[in-house]
Amino acid sequence: MKIFNTAVTLEYSLSFTDDIRGEILVDVGSGPTLYQVMSGCERFDRVILSDFLEVNRRELQNWLQEGKSSIDWTAYFKYVCQLEGRSSTTWAEKATRLRSVVSDVLPVDVHQSFPLSPEFLPPSGADCLVSSFCLESVSHDLLSFNHALDNISSLLKKGGYLLLIGALGESFYMGAPGLYIPVVPLDESQVCASLKASGYKLLQLCIYHLPPDMKVGVDDVTGVFFAKAKKT
């Protein structure tokens, strides 16, 4: 839970404390997780979740159908409520709010020029994109990462915000025992350059260096970055 709490803390402290709000928030590469939209759901009228894998989309759908999820998100909702200065006892209200604003759980492919089916977004695009530990995990080199960043940018309207969380220094992660999946090992300067090349103004960048007790052998991540950027 510690790594996810770190990511939630970074995301909340650098983004949703500001006046980022609007009609549509898109989470690109949700996985089977919800923590990345627990604050944003309060500031947008509609939330779109997405993932490449059907098994992850099914888990999200199961959570939306109350009582069917295999994951208990109660502790995460309570933690986010505390970050927002609210009593942790209000977590159920937040969960209800999130369920009410999620309009779709969609297939996504960040290596396609338009990663989502276009009928789910207005021509101008979404107001905000969130993506956590996705782009670098599905990109084998920097060029592939840059293309993926360009592709998801097609979903965002001009002047919209990108909130991007990712791993630093990661060259592999373990997909299963004995299965090591290669990924692009990003550094801070590459993240900044990639955002600029994709047409973003970087507003804030936070780096979290992993302590030894969080390095458990399933990957070789050295840190986590959080970037808040505006599409120009």
Identify the band that residue 161 occupies on the pLDDT scale cut at 50, 70 and 90.
very high
Choice among 6-10, 127-131, 139-143 with the minimum mean pLDDT = 6-10
> Which CATH number covers residue 202?
3.40.50.150
Does this model's pTM top 0.75? yes
Q: Where are the alpha helices (DSSP H) in the chain?
A: 2-11, 54-64, 74-83, 91-101, 142-153, 188-197
The model's pLDDT over 34-50, given as tens digits with 9 standing for 90+, comes to: 989 998 999 999 999 99
Residue-range definition of the domain harbouring residue 58: 2-231
Q: Based on the structure, what is the number of domains in the chain?
A: 1
CA distances from 45 to 23, 98, 122 (A): 5, 10, 14
92: CB partners within 8 A, 6+ apart: 77
Q: What local confidence, expressed as pLDDT, does residue 1 receive?
A: 43
Distance of CA 59 to the CA centre of its chain: 16
Burial of residue 68, with CB atoms counted within 10 A of its CB: 0-12 exposed, 13-18 middle, 19 or more buried: exposed
In the chain, count H helices and then E strands: 6, 9
